[in-house]
Amino acid sequence: MAIPSILEPYVIDDVEYVDGGVLNPIPLDIVKRKKGDMLVAVDLNANIPFKKNKKLDQEEKKKEQNSILKRLEFNQSWEKLFPKDKNEKKSLVMWLY
């Protein structure tokens, strides 16, 4: 691992190597993919500003509740596609109906 100005890069055959997170933290361009696979990536360094809790009006509360319900529905759908017990796995075609 190398961190610019803190740790020096590692050199092998005149090539300098640094931590991959410095130049390409989510190297999706080099991931080997197969037809029909699903790729999930999480950027832990994403610049998402912290939001303080605020008083929500009725419309905002409704939107927030709707968002929570959509996330729950997504999680349930995900569990149907990828159950912990492999015997329970449903085909994608059946899930879409």
Residue 66's pLDDT is what?
92
User: Which residues does residue 10 pair with via DSSP β-bridges, in sequence order?
Assistant: 17
Amino acid at 47: N
Three-class secondary structure assignment of 12-80: ECCEEECCHHHHCCCCHHHCCCCCCCCCCCCCCCCCCCCCCCCCCCHHHHHHHHHHHHHHHHHHHHHHH
The neighbour count for residue 26, using CB atoms within 10 Å, is 14
What whole-number percentage of the chain has pLDDT above 90?
8
Rounded to 5 degrees, φ, ψ at 31 are -75, 130
Q: What's the whole-model pTM score?
A: 0.34
Average pLDDT of span 51-79: 86
Average pLDDT of span 34-50: 83
| pLDDT tens profile 27-37 | 888 888 889 88
Residue 92's pLDDT is what?
47
Residue 2's pLDDT is what?
55
Residue 96's pLDDT is what?
47
Q: Which of 93, 96, 71, 91 is nearest to 81 (CA)?
A: 91
**Mean pLDDT for the chain?**
77
